[in-house]
Chain A
Amino acid sequence: MNCMEARALVEDALDKTIAGSRKRALDLHLSRCDSCRAFFAAEREEHRRWFVAMNEPNARRVLPDGFSDEFLAEMARRKAQPQRFWFIVSKFGRMAACIAAMLLFTLFSYAVVKVVGRSGDASVGAEALAEASAERVGEASAPLANGADIVVEPEAEVLQEASSASSADFPQQMKGDTIMSKVKAAAVALMAAVVSSPAVTVADSNGDGYIESEGDAYISLGHCAGPNTKMEVDFQLTEVKYDTKPFGSWGNHTALPMFSLYISYVNNETDQRFSWDCTDADGQRQAYNMDSADLNRHIISFDAPSRTYVSTNVTEGGEAYIHEFSKAVSNATNSYPLAVFARGADRPATLPGHFGGATKMRVYGMKIYESGSLVKTYTPCLKGGIPGLKVTGPGVDTFVTGIDVSKVKYGGDILVEKDDPYISTGDYNDVTKGAEAGKCIYLNTGYTVKPTTRVELDFAPLTPSPSVAAYNHAPEFMCAKGPARSSPRADNLLEIVGRTSTGNLGYKVGYSDYHDFIEKLNIGSVPMTTAYGIRRTVSAGGHSISLITAGFTNGTDTISANWGVETDLTTTPLYLCTANVGNDFAPMKIYGLKIYESDALVKDFRPIVTNGVAGLVDALNPSDIRYASSYGSGYALTFAAGGNHACTDGSDEAYLEFDGSNARIDSGVVVTKDSVIEADFALANAKYSNAQQVMFVQNGSDGVLASLYMNSEFKYSYQFRDFTGAANGINSGVLASNERRQFKLDGPNARMTIKCGDEVLCNQTITEGERTYTGGSTTLKIGPDSTMRLYGFKVTTNGSVVRDFVPYVMNGVAGLYDVCGERFYPLPGGKVRGRGSKGRDEFLSKPKHVLITRYGAGSTATLRCVAPGALRYEWREDNVLMDETSDSLTLSWVQNKPHTRTYKATPIYEVLGETVKGESVETRIDFAMLGTSIIIR
C-alpha cells in the first residue's frame, strides 16, 4: 500500500469500518510512514475539533416559542377539514380519489349519453363522451399525480343536464325525474363518508383492520333502526351463500325484515345478488335484488329517508351501484337491534331478534345516522383480547362483540385497546383460583339485600367447572341467602346462575319469598356454552330482572309478587362469585356492581388494586374496600386484576413474589432477643393444609428460635424458644388473609404488633421469659410455604439496622437488595412487580457525573442505577437508546469521538402485567483536555 492508497482510506479509518486485509495493510503502512501517520492523526484531531464545535450545547438551536402550539393547532385544523383528509389519511386517500373519479365518470357518462339520445347523433355523442370523460376524469385524477388536496363534488351544471335526460336512456333503477338529484345526494353522501371517516374509508392496503365471522358470530349493534336511519357498512363476504344475511334486523314482532341485507339469486343460483329486504310504509314486505354478491369488498349504504341504496365495489375500483326505492320504508322504529354476521332461514329461533348468524364475512367499519346526523361509528377493535366493534358517537363509547365470541376472528391493522378495569377469579382451570377441592373464592359485599333493593352486576362469566353440567353445580355469579335454611344452596334468595332448572344452560334468577317458595326465571336464552368471556349486565330488583349484552336486552322477566312481602328476607350479605356447592365457585370477571334503594344509588363498587391486592371499592365511600374471601378456613385466595391501570390506587409499591415452592432467601443474619424484625407482606392464595405455613424462620440447634407462621386456626402466630429452652408461641388472633400486613417483633421492648396500614390489629406484650432466647445456630431465612408478596423486610439489632431489604431485580433475577449492606440476595423463580417503595426515593442509587479526561482504547467507565422493583433500565445517550436490559451501562471513549454527552436512565417496572416507565435520572459525561488522567467520581 502506498501513501495515496493509504490516505484514501482515511474516512473508513475514522469510521472504523476498515477491517481484514485492508486494515492490516494500512496498519503496516502507517507503522512505516511517518508522514501518513501524521496525516491520520491530524485528520482525527480535526474531526474531533469539528465534531465538538458542531455539537456545542450552547450552539444548538431550539424551535421558536409558539411552534408547538401553532403546529398542534394546524394539525387540529387540518383534521377538522374533510377536504384535507387527503393528507391525513393519504394511505386511504388515493383509493378514495379513485372512487370519486369512477363515480364522476359514471355520472358524466350518463349525462353525455343523454346528450347523444337527444341529438340522435352518435358521433357527436361519442365526442361529447370522450371530452366529458377526459375532462372529468382528468380533473378528478389530477390530485393523484401531484399529491395536491382533493375536493370531489359532482358539478351542478352537469348534474342538472343529466337530471333532465329521458328516463328511457337509463337503467331501470335510475328512472324518475328526481333520479339525478338522488344520485347526486348519494354520491355526495358516499364521498363524505369516504373522506370523513377511517371506519368507512376505502383503503388501498390489505392491512386494514377487520373482524370476521366464520359463521355463527352474531353481533348486536345495540341500535334499532327507524324511518330516519341511514347505515353504511364497509364489508367483504368470504363466502357467497344463498339466504345468509350480512347485516340488518327484523321488524316489530311481525317476522318482517327491516333494514335487512341478504343474499338472493336471480333466475339461477349462479347469479347471486345482494338483496335489500325491508318493510314499507304500508306494512308490506319489500325485497329488491341489487348488485352482484361477490367476494369483493363493498361499502353499502342504505338511507331510509332518501330511499336510496348505494353499493360501491371497492375492490374493482369503486364503481357505484345506486338504487332508489319506489316506496318509503316503515315509519315505525324497530324493536330489534341491528346486527352483523347474521343469517337467514336456518336461523335458530333462540337467538335474539330471531336474527342469527352463519354469514361468513369481514367487517371493516360501520356508521349509523339518524336524521342526517352521525350517531354511531363502529370500528373493528381488539379489546382486552376479544375482537369486536368499538362504538363511538355523541355520548357513546362502548364495545360490542359476538354472541359467541369464539366465532369472531380478526385481522389486519386492527385497533387494540385494553379491557376496562376488572377483577377476576380466573377460570376454573386456574388452579390458583379454586380448582382444588375445598378451595372457593368469593367476595362479600357487606350489603344486605332488601325488598327495595335493585342490583346491577356488570360481569363476564368465565370457564366454569366441568361439573357445571350437573344442575347443583351451577355457578352463582351473585347470591344472597334467605333465612332459616340449612343448605347453602337451595334457599338462595337472589341469585344469578349459569344454568336453568330445565337443564338447558342459561341465566336465571332464583329467589325465595319467605314462604319457602323458590322461583327460577329465565332471563334470556343465551347459551352458557357461548357466553364465556362476554361482558353482560344483569339488573335485578323489585319485581323484574333483565339481562343486557352490549346494550341489547337479551331477556326480561317478572319476579313473583311474593317477593318483598316479608322484610327480613336475607340472612347473609350479597355475595359474588359464589356457587351452589361449597367447594365450587363462579368463575367470572367483575367490572362493577351498583346497588340501588328506591332508585337511589347507594353502592357503586368498582375494581381497585391496592398495593397489589385486587378488590372492589365503593366509589361513594372509598374507605369501603372489599377483598376476596374463601369458604371454610385455611385459604386466603385473591382476585386477579386486569384491564386499564386506572383501577389501581396509584401506589403500586414494588413487591417480591414468592411462588410457594419453599424457596427462601437466607438473610445471613442471626436474630437475638435484642433484635427487631419488621416484615411488610401480603399472603396470596395461602393455605393451611398439613403443615404450619411459615413466612420466615430461624432455627436453633434444638428447634425453631424465631418464626412467623400461620397456625391451624389460620391465624398469624409467632413462635420462639424461651430461655428455658421451651418452645412457645403467641397467637396474634389475626386471621390470615390476602391483604397487606405489617408485622413487627420488638425484642428490646418485648412487644409484637400486626398492623394494616395505620390500623393496629394486634399489640401484645411478650413476657421477659418469652422473649429471652439465645442466638440461633442458623441464620434467618425469609420465605413462605405458599405464595407471598414481600414489600420490605428489616432487621435491627442493638439499635443498628443490619438488614434493610427492598424488592430488586439484578440481571433479570428477582430478589431482595439490602440497602444497608448494598448487596443483592437472589430468589430464583421469584418475581418482582410494582414500582418504587413507600417512603423511599424511586432511585436508591443514581448515575453520577463522570469526568473523563483521557481518550483511547480501554478508557471506560460504568454507570449504575438501583431502583426498587425495576425489572430493567432504559439507557439513553443524548436521547438515543443505548441499552434496555441492564442496570448498568459501560461507556468507552475513542479519540475521534470526544464531546460532552448526557446519559439518562429510566427504570422499567411491571404493574398489573404491563410494563411502565418510571421517572428518569440523568448524568453528564465530560471530556476534558488531553493528556491527563481518568477521573471517575
Chain B
Amino acid sequence: MTEKRGMDIEEEIKAHPESGAKRLVAEYGDRLYDTAVRLCVDESLARDLVSRTLQRAIERIGLFRGSSRFYTWLYTILVNFWRMELRKRKSEHVVFTDELPDRPDDGADPAEALAAKADAEEIRAAVESLPLHYRSVTVFRYFEDMSVPEIADVLGVPEGTVKFRLHKAKKMMRRRLAQTIGGDDTSKGEERKEQ
C-alpha cells in the first residue's frame, strides 16, 4: 500500500488502472464537474463531459508528460470536449450588448452599492445567464482564477479576443445584476475611497 500512496496519480493509472481510475474520480471528479456545470449550465451534460474527460485521460495517460500540472491537463481535455459541444451548438443565439448605454458619471459609488446588495447567488446566476462564449471566459476568469493569456491558451483564441469577451461579459453581468438587485449596470467612472 505504501507503494501506491507514494505514486503520482499518472503512475498509478499506468500501473494499477482500476485503483488509478478510482483515485482519479475521487481527486478530480468533483472539481471538474463543478467547472463543467458552470461552463455548460447543464448538469446532465456536465456529468457527461466529466465522464468523457476522465475516460480520455485514462486512455491517454501515456501522453501526459508532467510538463504541466495534472489538473491543467485534465482541464484542457474537459475544455476541448466542451468546445466540441459548442461546435455542435453553434446555432445558439449569442446576445450582443453593444447597445447598452454607458454608465453616467453621476458622482455616486454604484459599484459599492451594487456590491453591498448583490449576493453571491445572484452573481453566479448572472454568469450562468451569459451566452456560451462570454460564460466561458467569465468562468475561467473568476472561478478558475486564470489570467488572460491562460484563457487565450485554453480556448485557442488571441488575447485581444479574450479581453473583448471579458469586457462584454462584464457589461452583461452588470446589467443583469442591476436588474435583479436594483443596482446600476456598471461600476466605472467614479472615485472610490482608498482602502
Chain A residue with Cβ nearest B7: A917
B153 within 8 A of A: no
Give residues 124-174 of A contacting B (CB, 8 Å). none
Stretch at the interface among A31-39, A482-490, A532-540: A31-39
- Scoring A45, A87, A856 by chain B CB atoms within 10 A of each residue's CB, the highest score goes to A45
B189 within 8 A of A: yes
For B115, the chain A residues whose CB sits under 8 A away are 45-46, 49
- A931 to chain B minimum Cβ distance, whole angstroms, is 7
Residue interface mask B36-69, A partner, CB < 8 A = 1:
0110000100110011001100111010000001
| B190:A38 contact, CB within 8 angstroms | yes
| A17:B34 contact, CB within 8 angstroms | no
- A18 to chain B minimum Cβ distance, whole angstroms, is 11
Chain B residue with Cβ nearest A413: B62
| A75:B34 contact, CB within 8 angstroms | no
- B35 to chain A minimum Cβ distance, whole angstroms, is 9
CA distance A120 to B181 in the complex (A): 86
- B181 to chain A minimum Cβ distance, whole angstroms, is 12
| B33:A61 contact, CB within 8 angstroms | yes
| B6:A917 contact, CB within 8 angstroms | yes
B26 within 8 A of A: yes
- B2 to chain A minimum Cβ distance, whole angstroms, is 5
For B6, the chain A residues whose CB sits under 8 A away are 914-917
| A68:B118 contact, CB within 8 angstroms | no
Interface size bracket, B side = 35 or more
B3 within 8 A of A: yes
Check A42/B190 contact, CB under 8 A, given A68-B26, A881-B69.
yes
Check A72/B3 contact, CB under 8 A, given A53-B120, A88-B59.
no
| B54:A71 contact, CB within 8 angstroms | yes
CA distance A62 to B127 in the complex (A): 19
A2 within 8 A of B: no
A51 within 8 A of B: yes
A375 within 8 A of B: no
CA distance A47 to B33 in the complex (A): 23
- B135 to chain A minimum Cβ distance, whole angstroms, is 12
Give residues 133-185 of B contacting A (CB, 8 Å). 139, 142-143, 145, 147-149, 163, 166, 170, 173
B195 within 8 A of A: yes
- A47 to chain B minimum Cβ distance, whole angstroms, is 7
A840 within 8 A of B: no
A911 within 8 A of B: yes
- A512 to chain B minimum Cβ distance, whole angstroms, is 45
| B51:A54 contact, CB within 8 angstroms | no
For A61, the chain B residues whose CB sits under 8 A away are 30, 33-34, 37, 43, 46
| B59:A645 contact, CB within 8 angstroms | no
Check A38/B191 contact, CB under 8 A, given A61-B33, A68-B29, A72-B21.
yes
Check A37/B124 contact, CB under 8 A, given A50-B142, A54-B142, A880-B69.
no
- A864 to chain B minimum Cβ distance, whole angstroms, is 23
B5 within 8 A of A: yes
Chain B residue with Cβ nearest A76: B18
| B3:A917 contact, CB within 8 angstroms | no
Q: How many A residues touch B, CB cutoff 8 Å?
A: 65
Pick the contact of A68: B22, B139, B148, B191 (CB < 8 A).
B22
For A88, the chain B residues whose CB sits under 8 A away are 59
A436 within 8 A of B: no
A437 within 8 A of B: no
- B36 to chain A minimum Cβ distance, whole angstroms, is 9
| A38:B192 contact, CB within 8 angstroms | yes
| B34:A62 contact, CB within 8 angstroms | yes
| B3:A645 contact, CB within 8 angstroms | yes
- A492 to chain B minimum Cβ distance, whole angstroms, is 39
For A72, the chain B residues whose CB sits under 8 A away are 18, 21-22, 25
- B9 to chain A minimum Cβ distance, whole angstroms, is 12
CA distance A75 to B22 in the complex (A): 11
Chain A residue with Cβ nearest B6: A916
For B124, the chain A residues whose CB sits under 8 A away are 53-54, 59
- Scoring A15, A54, A64, A856 by chain B CB atoms within 10 A of each residue's CB, the highest score goes to A54
For B50, the chain A residues whose CB sits under 8 A away are 63, 67
A935 within 8 A of B: no
| A11:B166 contact, CB within 8 angstroms | yes
Pick the contact of B148: A11, A42, A75 (CB < 8 A).
A11
- B161 to chain A minimum Cβ distance, whole angstroms, is 12
- A897 to chain B minimum Cβ distance, whole angstroms, is 8
Pick the contact of B195: A39, A46, A207, A931 (CB < 8 A).
A931
- B162 to chain A minimum Cβ distance, whole angstroms, is 8
Give residues 1-38 of A contacting B (CB, 8 Å). 7, 11-12, 15, 17, 34-35, 37-38
| A87:B59 contact, CB within 8 angstroms | yes
Chain B residue with Cβ nearest A39: B188
- A786 to chain B minimum Cβ distance, whole angstroms, is 29
CA distance A881 to B47 in the complex (A): 26
A599 within 8 A of B: no
| A930:B54 contact, CB within 8 angstroms | no
B121 within 8 A of A: yes
For A83, the chain B residues whose CB sits under 8 A away are none
| B188:A42 contact, CB within 8 angstroms | yes
B27 within 8 A of A: yes
For A413, the chain B residues whose CB sits under 8 A away are 62
A89 within 8 A of B: yes
For A886, the chain B residues whose CB sits under 8 A away are none
For A281, the chain B residues whose CB sits under 8 A away are none
| B21:A63 contact, CB within 8 angstroms | no
Pick the contact of A51: B58, B142, B191 (CB < 8 A).
B142
- A610 to chain B minimum Cβ distance, whole angstroms, is 15
A121 within 8 A of B: no
Chain B residue with Cβ nearest A908: B6
For A43, the chain B residues whose CB sits under 8 A away are 187-188
| B192:A41 contact, CB within 8 angstroms | yes
Check A63/B190 contact, CB under 8 A, given A88-B59, A90-B59, A880-B71.
no
Residue interface mask B90-113, A partner, CB < 8 A = 1:
000000000000000100000110
CA distance A207 to B60 in the complex (A): 14
| B195:A895 contact, CB within 8 angstroms | yes
Chain B residue with Cβ nearest A51: B142
| B29:A914 contact, CB within 8 angstroms | no
| A64:B69 contact, CB within 8 angstroms | no
Chain B residue with Cβ nearest A87: B59
Chain A residue with Cβ nearest B33: A63
Pick the contact of A17: B29, B30, B145, B147 (CB < 8 A).
B147
Residue interface mask A850-864, B partner, CB < 8 A = 1:
000001100000000
- B59 to chain A minimum Cβ distance, whole angstroms, is 6
CA distance A67 to B49 in the complex (A): 12
Residue interface mask A52-93, B partner, CB < 8 A = 1:
111110011111100110011011101000000001111100
Pick the contact of B29: A54, A67, A855, A930 (CB < 8 A).
A67
- B154 to chain A minimum Cβ distance, whole angstroms, is 15
For B43, the chain A residues whose CB sits under 8 A away are 61, 64
| A53:B2 contact, CB within 8 angstroms | no
CA distance A726 to B189 in the complex (A): 91
For B38, the chain A residues whose CB sits under 8 A away are 54
| Interface pairs (22), CB distance under 8 Å | A11-B163, A35-B189, A42-B192, A45-B111, A45-B112, A45-B187, A46-B115, A46-B170, A55-B142, A59-B124, A63-B25, A63-B30, A63-B50, A68-B26, A71-B21, A91-B60, A418-B3, A855-B195, A879-B31, A880-B69, A895-B195, A916-B6
Partner-A contacts on B (CB < 8 A): 2-3, 5-6, 15, 18, 21-22, 25-27, 29-31, 33-34, 37-38, 43, 46-47, 50-51, 54-55, 58-60, 62, 69, 71, 105, 111-112, 115, 118-121, 123-124, 127, 139, 142-143, 145, 147-149, 163, 166, 170, 173, 187-192, 194-195
Known contacts A652-B2, A879-B27; 17 further A-B pairs (Cβ under 8 A): A15-B147, A38-B191, A41-B195, A43-B188, A45-B111, A49-B118, A50-B123, A54-B38, A54-B142, A61-B46, A62-B33, A72-B21, A75-B21, A76-B18, A879-B31, A916-B5, A917-B5
3 smallest CB-CB distances across A and B, nearest first, come from: A53-B120, A38-B191, A53-B123
